[in-house]
Amino acid sequence: MKDLKEKLNTSIILITHDLGVVADLCSRIIVMYGGVIVEEGTTDDIFYSPRHPYTWGLLNSIPKVSLGTREKLIPIEGSPPDLLKPPAGCPFAARCDYAMRICAEKMPEYYEVGDGHRSMCWLLHPDAPEMDFTGKGVRANA
Ligand code: SF4
């Protein structure tokens, strides 16, 4: 695919849950959940500085290739929302460990967290409880 991209001087849009492939092939990542874009940024933004709980869940659920360690994968508990009856608030609220009351009531806004990096999460609202985002990407400590 990389060769084809170079040869044809084109772009490739890859739709997948396989973040290993994404890390190798993509320069920008759009993370979608429940039919909406919940986070968008460069590959480095998403792997080293993710700002959305669903992105954290995705990163935690892929195996790390670290020699000498046996770590459990952490699944995202629960099921996706019924898109025939979409929730009023954040589509990830029912599965989110960080959900607050507003999350179930109102769709979050997008917050710019870097140059071309944005996330749709109430945790980024200036009035949200203080949150330590350090180390939320599995790659940050790999
Ligand atoms: S808006 Fe709320 S429920 Fe949605 S991802 Fe952020 S903290 Fe979780």
pLDDT in tens, 76-85: 999 999 999 9
97: in domain: no
84: in domain: no
Q: Which atom of ligand 1 is nearest to the CA of 53?
A: 5
Q: How many domains does the chain have?
A: 1
Percent of the chain with pLDDT over 90: 71
pLDDT tens figures, 9-43 = 999 999 998 888 898 899 999 999 999 999 999 99
pLDDT at 68 over 70: no
- Say how many Å lie between the CA of residue 136 and the centre of ligand 1: 15
Virtual torsion, Cα 38, 43, 45, 51, nearest 10 deg:
30
Residue 118 CA: distances (Å) to CA of 76, 84, 90: 22, 27, 15
Domain extent at residue 33: 2-77+110-121+129-141
Among protein residues, the one with the nearest Cα to ligand 1's atom 3 is 93
